[in-house]
Amino acid sequence: MKIPVNLPKMGLTMEEATIVKWLKQAGDVVNKNDVLLEVETDKSVLEIEAPTAGTVIERLFDEGDSIKVSETICILENNEKGTDEKTTNPVSIQEPKVVQETTVVTTSRGKVPMYPRFPNKPVSPASRRKAYEMGLTTEEIQSIVGSGPRNRVILRDITSYSKQATHVSQTTKLEKPVIDPQVEYEKLTTIRSLTAKKLTESFRDVPQFMIKKSIDVTNINDIKTKLSELNIKISLNDFIIQGVSVAIQKNRIVNSYFIETDTEMLIQKNNNINVGLAVAIDSGLVVPVVKEVDQLSLVDIARKREDLIQKARKNRLTPNEMNEGTITISNLGAFGVDEFNAIINKPEAAILAVGSVVKQPVVNEFDEIVVKPILTITASFDHRIIDGAVAAQFMKDLSIILESNDWKIV
Amino acid sequence: MTRQITYAEAINEALDEILRDDESVFLLGEDIGHYGGVFKVTKGLYDKFGGDRVIDTPISESGFIGLGIGAAMTGLKPVIEIMWIDFTLVAIDQILNQAAKFSYMSGGQSKVPLVIRTQGGGGRGNGAQHSQSLEGLFAQFPGVKVVCPSTPYDVKGLLKSSVAENCPVIFIEHKMLYNTKGEVPEEDYSIPLGKADIKRKGSDVTIVSLSRMVQFSLNAAKELEKEGIDAEIIDLRSLAPLDIETVIESVKRTNRIVVVHEAHTTFGWGAEIVSRVQQDAFDYLDGPIIRVGAEDVPIPYNLELEKEVLPQVKDIVKAVKEALYIEVK
């Protein structure tokens, strides 16, 4: 019997994945749960396993190809007798294992494709099917205000949305870029295009303002030196992560999300303080999250941060390790940047742009000019929920903590 | 133009032809002979075919249905008339415990080619014991087929097929349809059981019904048309066998569906249609499925009250608007 292997839906927003690597060739005999291939999605690499023992008789895609959720990737044949399923009729397959750790995984089951679901938004079944057929993205559907009861999105909303979209693309036709065959182009990676999409949204939708603060890191440097003599390695980032956590506890609003539903605007109050750290890797930018930092010592933070960065560099972060961030830190100090601005990582309310430590002449309390190591942090805030005074207080608290001797080391 | 005859005349014509063409067929029932039936359906057949083929019975439904079952098992083809469907309840053991089961319990050695013609429904102020719609009750039992024609053309063609069936068929006419007229061709024809008929093509909503409610639904469609709503009307024609495919295909085009029956809404056969549609066409539904049926009280004797209890054209119109979210609750 021929068994089609389909791409399962591995996250709520997942719509497609790219094949990273084939581990089995056509003709290979496989056991149940053998890894057939690796796919890259939502910034993580996942393994697709054989749902049954058998022989790989056909691979329908090559490495680098994008596949849509529930599309058939390859076909196995086992010895059981039965009616051959057409490749368009997916059968249920084994849940794929996430390489690093198990996350919530939904697989496609039954004979029809799994149309995207919207747990917090009423969308009629027919609309879900139509939107899927028209290739609308989750974001596009989320943006539609339904005309049914309780703002349920119904077919007429989907069809009128598509007409609007067509209209826009017609009127803006002339401004669309023309592909010149003489010029070299490169398709954005999955991560790159996701970043592009998210940041465009943030830049367009979030009114952000910046506050800059110079911080004397003499104390931090002293502590670092003493600890390194004890063979304990703590980086400046770890101090900033803990400092942010303490400053947030005095200014909880900075840890919130701004949420806009169809009818109202909300502040989501996050209890945990989860600090994201922007990490540049070959294929783009990822933001692993150190969670519940208020519960952690500097040593804990350092260990977790190091682990996450290693995983990020190997492209092995799971979706779980990149979600639920409540504030983000971006540090370009290693590149000798004096100071810079960062764009808020929506729906978070703030991001810290950390420059490099520069020795500077400073006038001290005795009116003497002394040389101090100065770090410049520029923070961007979402003005919809945070006003200048609140942001300034947060930055003041942060600088007091960072200049202090008061640290939870172990 | 084809000739126009009434629903009662069409049945009469079908019985006439069946008696003429098949000597094993005979009619059995109360007042069907010399009197010609309460609704004049068997008028003239006694004179034409005689007392051996058109037999008047005492008021003893259980007894003469039992007689019919025995005759059917031993090679004849009885067509029994039960004057009011409400009276089948007197003989329900014979119909559902005996006729429906024999073929199965004998491993197919016995067959019961029996047609029970009866009439149901309200609209005439006949009261609670003479106005019921029991088609769903019979359709719940494997072993009987249940046919509910809505037009003179259908009633003739379906009756001919029913007599040709080799199993018990409950053939439910409607008392308010007997005098309705429609085109019926002169030439011989029959309509296979289990084939729904799309009585009106439409694109905005599917209305599923049978018997008298088909005409009500067509009238509702005319009103809806004035408001720019294009309704498709499906006449199931039989509940067993049930042509759910035609319904599913229609819902896939219209995405909305209303089920209309004269039977009581609660536990009515409309719920069966709802269940099948949500299972087989879930991803095509754009809104909840609405049922229109009789209120959950016995059918009143008073004509005005009866109208309140039974589904009316305005109720169907309202249900369609609800299904289309034109009237959002």
Pair B128, B298: CB distance under 8 Å: yes
Q: Do A124 and B285 lie within an 8 Å CB cutoff?
A: yes
Q: pLDDT-based confidence at A316, cuts 50/70/90?
A: confident
Q: What is residue A278's predicted lDDT score, i.e. its pLDDT? A: 93
Q: Which residues of A touch B329 (CB under 8 A)?
A: 149
Nearest Cα neighbor of A383 from A206, A145, A142, A200 is A206
Asked whether the predicted pLDDT for residue A270 surpasses 90, the reply is yes
Instruction: Give yes or no for residue A400 having a pLDDT over 50.
Output: yes
Q: Identify whether the C-beta of residue A17 lies closer than 8 Å to the C-beta of residue A90.
A: no
List, for residues B211-242, the tens digit of each pLDDT value.
999 999 999 999 999 999 999 999 999 999 99
Residue A151 has pLDDT above 90, yes or no: no
| Cα gap A272→B54, rounded to integer Å | 87
Q: Which CATH number is B303's domain given?
A: 3.40.50.920
Alpha helices (H) along A74-124:
none
Confidence of residue A135 (pLDDT cuts 50, 70, 90): confident
Q: Can you tell me whether residue B53 is helix, strand or coil? A: coil
Q: What is the CATH number of domain A1-114?
A: 2.40.50.100
pLDDT average, residue stretch B286-300: 96
Residues A44 and A316 sit within 8 Å (Cβ to Cβ): yes
Whether residue B275 sits in one domain with residue B300:
yes
Told to judge if B130 belongs to the known catalytic residues of this protein, a careful annotator would answer: yes
Q: Give the three-state DSSP class for B61.
A: helix
- Report the alpha-carbon distance of residue B272 to residue B274 in Å, rounded: 5
Ramachandran angles phi, psi of A246, nearest 5°: -70, -40
Based on the fold, state whether residues B154 and B264 are members of the same structural domain: no
Is there a domain that residue B192 lies in? no
**Catalytic hit among B61, B81, B135, B232:** B61
How far apart are alpha carbons B51 and A199 in whole angstroms? 92
Within-domain flag for B49: yes
Q: How far apart are CA B77 and CA B166, in angstroms?
A: 9
The answer to whether residues B149 and B8 belong to one domain is yes
Which pLDDT does position B299 carry in this prediction? Answer: 97
Tokens 């308010």 appear where?
Answer: B176
Residues 197-256 of B with CB under 8 A from A: 255
The Cα diameter of chain A in Å comes to 91
Query: What is the average pLDDT score of chain A?
Result: 84
More confident residue, B53 or A69: B53
Within A172-253, where are the H helices? Answer: 190-205, 218-229, 236-250
Q: What percent of chain A has pLDDT over 90?
A: 40
What distances in angstroms separate CA B131 from CA B82, B122, B179, B259, one per listed residue? 14, 4, 17, 20
Is residue B88 domain-shared with residue B169, that is, in the same domain?
Answer: yes
How many beta-carbon pairs below 8 A join chains A and B? 31
Cβ atoms < 10 Å from Cβ of B199: 20
For strands A54-59 and A72-77, give the pairing: antiparallel
Q: CB B246: neighbour CB atoms within 10 A?
A: 18
pLDDT for residue A82: 52
CA distance B190 to B193: 9
Please give the residue that has the higher pLDDT: either A179 or A397.
A397
- CB count within 10 Å of CB A254 equals 27
- Do residue B255 and residue B165 come from a single domain? no
Which chain B positions have a beta carbon within 8 Å of A144's beta carbon?
Answer: none
Closest partner residue to A126 (CB to CB) among B255, B328, B329 is: B255
Residue A348 DSSP SS3? strand
Contact assessment for residue B39 and residue B65, using Cβ atoms and an 8 Å cutoff: no
What is the total count of domains within chain B? Answer: 2
Shortest CA gap B287–chain A (Å): 6
Mean of the pLDDT values across residues B11-34?
A: 97
Give the separation between CA A107 and CA A46, rounded to whole angstroms: 13
User: Do B166 and B45 belong to one domain?
Assistant: yes
Q: Taking the domain A191-402, which CATH number applies? A: 3.30.559.10
Q: Is residue B188 part of a domain?
A: no
Domain boundary among B183, B208, B242: B183
Do residue A125 and residue B282 have CB atoms under 8 angstroms apart?
A: yes
Q: Give the residue on B whose Cα is nearest the Cα of A125.
A: B283
Tell me the average pLDDT across A350-372: 93
CB contact under 8 A, A149 and B284: no
Nearest neighbour of B287 by CB, restricted to A112, A128, A148: A148
What pLDDT does residue A20 have? 84
Q: Is A218 on the interface with B (CB under 8 A)?
A: no
Question: Is residue B329 one of the residues assigned to a domain?
Answer: no
Q: Is the pLDDT of residue A318 over 90?
A: no
Report residue A17: phi and psi, to 5°.
Answer: -150, 160
| Whole-angstrom distance, CA of residue B59 vs CA of residue B64 | 9
CB atoms near residue A219 (< 10 Å): 16
Do B170 and B285 lie in one domain? The reply is no
* Extents of the domains making up chain A: 1-114, 125-185, 191-402
Mean pLDDT of the region A320-340: 91
Q: Percent of chain B beyond pLDDT 90?
A: 98
Tokens 């959002």 belong to residue: B328
Q: Quick check: B163 and B76 in contact, CB under 8 A?
A: no
- For residue A102, name the pLDDT band (cuts at 50, 70, 90): very low
Same domain for B203 and B233? yes
DSSP string covering A390-410: HHHHHHHHHHHHHTSS-----
Q: How far apart are CA B12 and CA A80, in angstroms?
A: 58
Structure token pair of residue B62: 């259980």
In the predicted model, is pLDDT for residue A175 greater than 80? no
Q: What is the DSSP letter of A9?
A: P
Per residue in A232-260, pLDDT (tens digit) is 889 999 999 999 999 999 999 999 999 88
Domain region containing B137: 4-183
Give CA–CA dist B22/A171, Å, rounded.
Answer: 74
How high is the pLDDT of residue B320? 96
Decide which of B318 and A180 is more confident: B318
| A228: CB partners within 8 A, 6+ apart | none
Give yes or no for residue B210 having a pLDDT over 70.
yes
pLDDT given at position A81? 62
Sign for the pseudo-dihedral over CA of B294, B156, B9, B36: negative
Whole-model pTM?
0.56
Cα distances (angstroms) measured from residue B191 to each of B1, B155, B164, B196: 21, 9, 11, 10
Is it the case that residue A212 has pLDDT exceeding 90? Answer: yes
Please count the other Cβ atoms lying within 10 Å of the Cβ belonging to residue B47: 11
| Helix, strand or coil, per DSSP, at residue A43 | coil
Q: How confident is the model at residue A187 (pLDDT cuts 50, 70, 90)?
A: confident
SS3 of residue A149 by DSSP: helix
Exposure of A207 by Cβ count < 10 A (0-12 exposed, 13-18 middle, 19+ buried)? exposed
pLDDT of residue A163: 62
Instruction: Show residues of chain B in contact with A112, CB under 8 Å.
Output: 283
**To 5 degrees, how large is the angle CA A310–CA A316–CA A320?**
105
Q: Kindly list the distances between the CA atom of residue A43 and the CA atoms of A189, A190, A382, B302, in Å, as whole numbers in the listed order.
A: 10, 7, 25, 72
B173 and B288 both lie in a single domain: no
Q: Is B186 a catalytic residue?
A: no
Same domain for B35 and B152, yes or no, is yes
Residue A367: both structure tokens together: 């009116």
In a domain, B23, yes or no: yes
Tell me, yes or no, if A147 comes closer than 8 A to chain B by beta carbon.
yes
CATH number at residue B56: 3.40.50.970
Contacts of A125 in chain B (CB under 8 A): 282-286
Catalytic residue among B9, B13, B30, B130: B130
Task: Let me know whether B296 and B208 are in one domain.
Answer: yes
User: Would you say residue B101 lies in a domain?
Assistant: yes
Q: Give the confidence band of A98 by pLDDT, cuts at 50, 70, 90.
A: very low
CA distance B20 to A87: 56
pLDDT at A365: 87
The residues that bridge with A56 in the sheet, in sequence order, are A76
Section B193-203 average pLDDT: 97
Residue among A155, A157, A158, A160 with most chain B CBs within 10 A, to mutate = A155
- Of the three residues B183, B215, B245, the one that is the final residue of a domain is B183
> What is d(CA B102, CA B88) in angstroms, rounded to the nearest whole number?
19
Mean pLDDT of A310-318: 87
Cα–Cα distance for residue pair A158/A164, rounded to 1 Å: 10
Q: What is the pLDDT of residue A69?
A: 84
Looking at this protein, which amino acid is placed at residue B257? Answer: I
Q: In sequence order, what are the beta bridge partners of A351?
A: A328, A380
**ipTM > 0.85 (yes/no):** no
**Residues B122, B209: one domain?**
no
pLDDT at residue A121, rounded to an integer: 85
- Closest chain B CA to residue A131: B283
Q: Residue A308 belongs to what H/E stretch? A: helix A298-313
Tens of pLDDT, residues B235-274: 999 999 999 999 999 999 999 999 999 999 999 999 999 9
What's the gap in Å between the CA of B241 and the closest CA on chain A?
A: 26
Share of chain A above pLDDT 70, in %: 87
Is the pLDDT at B169 greater than 80, yes or no?
A: yes
The tens digit of pLDDT for each residue in A291-301 reads: 999 999 999 99
Q: Give whole-number Cα distances, A294 to A237, A300, A380, A403, A404, in Å.
A: 15, 11, 22, 19, 17
Average pLDDT over chain B, rounded to whole?
A: 96
In 3-state terms, what secondary structure has residue A167?
helix
CA B159 distance to own-chain centroid: 11
Name which of A115, A127, A149 is nearest B329 (Cβ-Cβ): A149
Is the per-residue pLDDT at A202 higher than 70?
Answer: yes
Q: Which of A268-282, B83-97, B136-150, B183-197 has the lowest mean pLDDT?
A: A268-282
Cβ-based neighbours of A252, under 8 Å, separated by 6 or more: A269
Confidence of residue A1 (pLDDT cuts 50, 70, 90): confident
pLDDT at A100 over 80: no
Contact predicate A227/A246, CB 8 Å: no
φ and ψ of A262, to 5 deg: -65, -30
Q: At residue B301, does pLDDT exceed 70? A: yes
Residue ending a domain, among B161, B183, B205, is B183
pLDDT at A105 over 80: no
